Every structure is written in structure tokens, then in C-alpha cells.
Amino acid sequence: MFVKYLNIGLPKKELFHGKEFTTGICKKPVAGPLLLSRTGFIGDGVGDLRYHGGSDKAVCVYSLDHYPYWTATLGIALPEAAFGENLTVTGMLEPDICIGDTFRIGSAVVQVSQPRQPCRTLAARYGREDFVKLVVESGRTGFYFRTLTEGAVNADDMITLVQRDPFDVTVEFANHIYHHDRRNREGIERVLAAPALSESWRKSFQELREKI
């Protein structure tokens, strides 16, 4: 596992297929080192603080291993940071990564907090109204890190597993329950039992539990 690209960008006005958005989704690769703080990389930002950013979503992570799938699906060459991710990584796939897994990257220590939820800005970037649905159905969502120990991160840094979360709730499993099996009480309880689950996803799963 290593960092292929380290990407940052501040919010600015972007024109996507005739519609204007203020967004930080169009991030660009940098070499580093960059300081990773509790709320994200210095020099990075998000446009919509309701759904992005904050300590539980300090770092957006997406796998380079998914890029060939999306190149074929969309029929276009993808740019770097095609999903607005801060870290484009290798060897970190949703079926293998658990909420609560802890990793060292450079001198920083991070922890998986939740899957990434695709948004309308991502869909607008590629001019595909169905893109959120495509990402959800594919399971190739990516995920977020919270920062446990602030530190410096470089492109090409190795990503070292510090501790596997004992609750064994994978990103893939959490996605499946939330998006495809929303009346599975046992599954909901299993996700809620993971102490490292982000505050926003915990609230969403509590609401699912209440509905059934």
C-alpha cells in the first residue's frame, strides 16, 4: 500500500457542463511534504461544509485500482484526483479495509472513519446524472480517514497498517447495509457496534434502526 498521488485544492468556481459550482473537487497532485492536521491537509479545502470536511472526514481516499473500471464505464481518460480525493492509493480496496483500521503515512497516523458517499458535484463533473447511482452500485466508493496523530505526508509514502480493527466491519459491508440492505437489523447493529464509525454515519444507521 502506498500513496500514488497526494492531492489538494481550495474551493473555487468551476463550470461543469454549463452549471456553475463552488467546489474543491478539482484537486491537483503535489509532491509534499504536506502537514496533515486534525481537519485535513494544509492548503486543502471543501466547498460544502455540510457534507464534506471536519475531523471525521479529514482525508478522502480513493484507489487507483478502480481507475480502469471508470475509464471503461465513462469512456474517457480520467484526470488525477478524478474523484476529488486527497490520497490516490494502491492496494486499499473496500472489501479489505475496515472502519477503525489505523495506518501510518509518513509521520501521520490515521484511522478509517466511514465510506465516502458520492455527491451531486461529482456527478456534475462528469455530466452523468446517474453517476452517484453507478458509484454506489459498483461499491467503489472510497473512504475517509480521521487524523489521530498530525504529521507530514509525501507522495509515494508507504502506507503501513498499525492496527486492524477487531470489529471487522469492512467499508464494503457498511456500504452494502446502508445502500442495499437497509432493513437488515443484524447488519445495522454490527455497523453501529464499530466504535470508530463517524458521527454522521452513526446517526444515519441509528435512523435506519429506528425505522424498522
Number of domains the chain contains: 1
182 pLDDT more than 80: yes
Is 177 a member of any domain? no
Percent of the chain with pLDDT over 70: 97
DSSP secondary structure string for all residues of 11-64: -EEEEETTEEEEES-S-EEE---EEEETTEETT---S-TTTS-SGGGSEEEEEG
Mean pLDDT within 87-114: 98
Residue 126 sits at φ, ψ, to 5 deg, of -105, 5
β-sheet with 108-115: strand ranges across? 28-30, 2-8, 87-90, 59-63, 143-149, 108-115, 102-105, 159-163
Q: CA-CA distance, 153 to 138, in Å (whole number)?
A: 30
**How much is the pLDDT for 49?**
67
Side chain identity, residue 130: D
Is 138 a member of any domain? yes
8 Å CB contact between 38 and 150: yes
Is 176 a member of any domain? no
34-48, 55-69, 114-128: range with highest mean pLDDT: 55-69
Query: pTM of this prediction?
Result: 0.94
What are the tens digits of pLDDT across the range 113-158? 999 999 889 999 999 989 999 999 999 999 999 999 999 999 999 9
Is 46 a member of any domain? yes
Which CATH number do you get for residue 24?
2.40.33.20
- Residue 130's domain comprises 2-165
Is 208 a member of any domain? no
Q: Which of the four pLDDT bands, split at 50, 70 and 90, describes residue 175?
A: very high
DSSP secondary structure string for all residues of 67-107: HHHHHHHHTSPPPTTTT--SEEEES--TTT-BTT-EEEETT
Is 185 a member of any domain? no
47 pLDDT more than 70: no
Is 36 a member of any domain? yes
Q: CA-CA distance, 140 to 96, in Å (whole number)?
A: 12
Is 89 a member of any domain? yes
